[in-house]
Amino acid sequence: NAYETSKVTFNEKEHYRYLNFLKQGIQICAPDVMQDNRLIELYDTYLKDEEIKAVIDTPIFVEDKLWGVLKCEYKQKHDIDRQDEWFNHILAFYIANLMESARTIEANEEVKKYLKKLEENFDEVISLLSRIVEERDPYTAGHQRKVALIASAIARELGLSEDEQRKLYIAGMLHDIGKLYVPPEILTKPSRLTPIEFEIVKVHPDKGYETLITLESLKEIAEIVRQHHERLDGSGYPKGLKNNQIIKEARILAVADVAEAMLARRPYRPPIPIEEVLKYLDENKGKLFDPEVVEACKKVFSLGMLPQS
Ligand SMILES: [Fe+2]
């Protein structure tokens, strides 16, 4: 006549026989507990203490293991009919299902935590790689992080997905990784480069691609990095790609890279004021840069999202 939940623990040592029946999936229906020797181990303790005279004990299996027992207990001897048996079976089955779904939800939470951890570790590795490049080139220290911030902000402004924004952040962080192959004398030269030196610097997008393409998780990033010096009119390098031959992400990275580089101090020139940078991008939109990206970049700067340089 009443339902209640209580925790009763049975153990293998004292209740071996009883548990063994349940483990085999047997429902123990005892109209008179004292007449049922399957319950013999429970006579003197549990059944006597609780003054139980009749039981229907139904095993609950979760993931193919005995997880618990649905116990229907009577204070008087009680005739048990098929309906009682079935009712308890169905209820036990229902509980088992709930338990299994609860476990799946828990498992998903675990997976989420694990993925988060992986993502953090991944970000650490990206930052480390980025620092290694900048270590050799103190003039551009912090450049990649700022480009990453501008590029991902432009992506957000363009309404791209969070995945795309993240991709652009990572591409920004690593876009000059190919400079590891450029001699440090050239990278740190305090004056403008000679044409030959510039030819050497121009290998860095391809070298960056070759480095990143070896990592499965950075395959898409590799292509963005390879194209970050391409320009709409074909005047860029390494391939001289034009317009739509250049992937959208690379067109975003290009604008972020140029804007950040102009805004930064160089040994041979002071920082260029923001108005001049935006004017330059504006004058060259449709020619060198994707007009839509330039507009988004202008919005990013006007919104005050400019990272500290
Ligand atoms: Fe570059």
The CA distance from 72 to 57, in Å, is 6
Measure 156 CA to ligand 1 centroid, in angstroms: 22
Domain 136-302 adopts which CATH fold?
Hypothetical protein af1432 (1.10.3210)
Q: Fill in the DSSP letter of residue 32.
A: S
The CA distance from 240 to 206, in Å, is 13
Supply the pLDDT for residue 172. Answer: 95
173 is written with which tokens? 């962080």
Measure 206 CA to ligand 1 centroid, in angstroms: 10
Measure 258 CA to ligand 1 centroid, in angstroms: 9
Measure 253 CA to ligand 1 centroid, in angstroms: 10
142: left (phi over 0), alpha (psi -120 to 50) or beta: left
DSSP β-bridge partners for residue 57: 28, 71
Q: What residues does each domain of the chain span?
A: 16-109, 136-302
Measure 179 CA to ligand 1 centroid, in angstroms: 8
The CA distance from 55 to 218, in Å, is 62
Supply the pLDDT for residue 304. Answer: 66
Distances in Å between the Cα of 81 and the Cα atoms of 55, 56, 91, 237, 280 are 12, 11, 16, 85, 89
Measure 121 CA to ligand 1 centroid, in angstroms: 25
Regions of the chain with pLDDT less than 50: 307-309
Nearest-CA neighbor of 58 among 94, 102, 98? 94
Measure 204 CA to ligand 1 centroid, in angstroms: 7
Count of residues in the chain:
309
Supply the pLDDT for residue 164. Answer: 95
Sequence-distant (≥ 6) Cβ neighbours of residue 58 within 8 angstroms: 27, 69, 70, 71, 72, 88, 89, 91, 92
> Could you tell me the end-to-end alpha-carbon distance of the chain, in angstroms, rounded to an integer?
75
Supply the pLDDT for residue 124. Answer: 84
The CA distance from 175 to 254, in Å, is 10
Please compute Rg for the chain using Cα positions.
Answer: 35
Asked if residue 155 lies in contact with residue 252, where contact means CB atoms within 8 angstroms, the answer is yes
Supply the pLDDT for residue 309. Answer: 39
Dihedral of CA atoms 33, 38, 40, 42 in degrees, nearest 10, equals -70
Nearest-CA neighbor of 293 among 259, 242, 245? 259
213 is written with which tokens? 């393409």
Measure 160 CA to ligand 1 centroid, in angstroms: 23
Q: Which residues surround ligand 1, an ion (CB under 5 A)?
A: 176
Other C-beta atoms closer than 10 Å to the C-beta of 60 total 20
Q: Fill in the DSSP letter of residue 44.
A: I
Measure 276 CA to ligand 1 centroid, in angstroms: 21
95 is written with which tokens? 């509980």
Asked if residue 257 lies in contact with residue 230, where contact means CB atoms within 8 angstroms, the answer is no
For residue 74, what is the enclosing H or E element? strand 65-74
- Average model confidence (pLDDT) across the chain: 88
Q: In the block, which residue shows the tokens 């805004």?
A: 263
Q: In the block, which residue shows the tokens 């989420």?
A: 112
Measure 205 CA to ligand 1 centroid, in angstroms: 7
CATH number of 16-109: 3.30.450.40
Asked if residue 33 lies in contact with residue 47, where contact means CB atoms within 8 angstroms, the answer is yes
Asked if residue 177 lies in contact with residue 203, where contact means CB atoms within 8 angstroms, the answer is no
Measure 174 CA to ligand 1 centroid, in angstroms: 9
The CA distance from 263 to 270, in Å, is 9
Supply the pLDDT for residue 189. Answer: 83
The CA distance from 172 to 148, in Å, is 4
The CA distance from 121 to 136, in Å, is 24
Measure 47 CA to ligand 1 centroid, in angstroms: 80
